[in-house]
């Protein structure tokens, strides 16, 4: 039996049969949805939905050392032959880099570009080119992402910090392999503290939902005191074949300043915000229907009508 699911869960749980992930993404510019091409769909189904694959996942593939080993090839000159086929297959916009040569696939994948925004200071911006979904944080400090219920304390491994976001929102920026893999700060401010949480490296696709990836994967947490949105927490989450999260470690920063970048693979950034910040209605509506919204760095995604200030 084949189960297709996109905007709404199929309801069967998808645990006892093959489930093909068909991701519907909302394009704000056209007002229409499009179907996302899944990178390595066959390999993911083998790893997550067969006995042999799950054994390999547990013992080898989801281990950080495997991603580091794979990264060696991505940094080699031989990997450069993958660039043109990859750009053509996934329709990567190379306008900003036309005429530029890359020594390896890793160099292409982590390419840099300039950032700009038309958003006003009190407007919240997207921190990455990605597919965005927003989730409400419940009073008991849990939130439901797709079909999994997460404890915020499990994600942060800090109960006191988790309680600060009661009744706030959780923004999940999912970067697929065709997205630009550098990310920025949402506002000017300073970094109050940061830490790394070790773990495994599972895909962030729906096929891995039962693994509770946001509290099992390697991740880096930064608590940021911002000028316009108060205290926010930004979490970079590693994923399958993403062996390294590269943060620049700035203590003070301005809006749109680059915070870091991911090595090769799909990745995710989780942004926790408190009450008083309104996410744009179209993003909220699509999220309520289980559909992610395509956003770009610097794009307005919300607003804080009253300056919260540092806390």
129 classed as catalytic: yes
The answer to whether 177 and 39 are in contact (CB under 8 A) is yes
Dihedral sign for Cα atoms in the order 197, 203, 205, 208: negative
Helices within 1-150 (DSSP H only): 41-49, 51-56, 64-74, 83-90, 105-109
Residues 6+ apart with CB under 8 A from 264: 70, 71, 74, 105, 106, 109, 110, 177, 241, 242
The answer to whether 292 and 204 are in contact (CB under 8 A) is no
The answer to whether 37 and 22 are in contact (CB under 8 A) is no
The answer to whether 237 and 219 are in contact (CB under 8 A) is yes
Give the active site residue among 67, 129, 280, 287.
129
287 classed as catalytic: no
The answer to whether 5 and 17 are in contact (CB under 8 A) is no
Q: Distance between CA 309 and CA 229 in Å, rounded? A: 6
Q: Do the bridges between strand 24-27 and strand 292-295 make them parallel or antiparallel, or are there none, so unpaired? A: parallel
The answer to whether 110 and 263 are in contact (CB under 8 A) is yes
Assigned token pair, 167: 């009744």
Give the active site residue among 130, 208, 267, 287.
267
Q: Distance between CA 282 and CA 239 in Å, rounded? A: 28
Name the residues annotated as catalytic: 129, 267
């Amino acid at each position: 039996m084949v189960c297709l699911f996109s905007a709404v869960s199929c309801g069967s749980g998808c645990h006892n049969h093959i489930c093909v992930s068909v991701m519907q993404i909302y394009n704000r510019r056209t007002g229409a949805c499009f179907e996302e091409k899944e990178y390595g769909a066959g390999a993911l189904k083998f790893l997550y939905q067969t006995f042999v694959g799950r054994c390999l996942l547990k013992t080898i593939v989801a281990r950080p050392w495997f991603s580091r080993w794979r990264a060696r090839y991505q940094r080699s000159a031989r990997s450069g032959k993958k660039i043109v086929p990859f750009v053509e297959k996934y329709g990567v916009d190379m306008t900003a880099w036309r005429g530029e040569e890359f020594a390896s696939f890793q160099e292409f994948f982590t390419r840099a570009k300039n950032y700009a925004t038309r958003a006003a200071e009190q407007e919240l911006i997207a921190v990455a080119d990605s597919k965005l979904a927003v989730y409400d944080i419940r009073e008991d400090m849990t939130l439901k992402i797709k079909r999994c219920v997460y404890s915020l304390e499990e994600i942060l491994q800090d109960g006191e910090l988790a309680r600060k976001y009661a009744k706030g929102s959780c923004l999940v920026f999912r970067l697929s392999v065709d997205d630009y893999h550098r990310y920025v700060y949402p506002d000017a401010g300073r970094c109050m503290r940061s830490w790394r949480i070790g773990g495994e490296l599972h895909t962030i696709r729906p096929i891995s939902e039962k693994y509770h990836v946001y509290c099992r994967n390697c991740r880096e947490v930064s608590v940021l005191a911002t000028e316009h949105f108060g205290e926010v927490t930004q979490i970079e989450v590693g994923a399958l074949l993403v062996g390294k999260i590269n943060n620049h470690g700035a203590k003070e920063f301005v809006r749109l300043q680059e915070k870091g970048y991911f090595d090769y693979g799909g990745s995710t950034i989780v942004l926790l915000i408190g009450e008083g910040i309104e996410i744009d209605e179209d993003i909220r509506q699509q999220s309520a229907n289980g559909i992610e919204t395509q956003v770009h760095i610097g794009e307005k995604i919300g607003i804080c009508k009253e300056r919260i200030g540092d806390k």
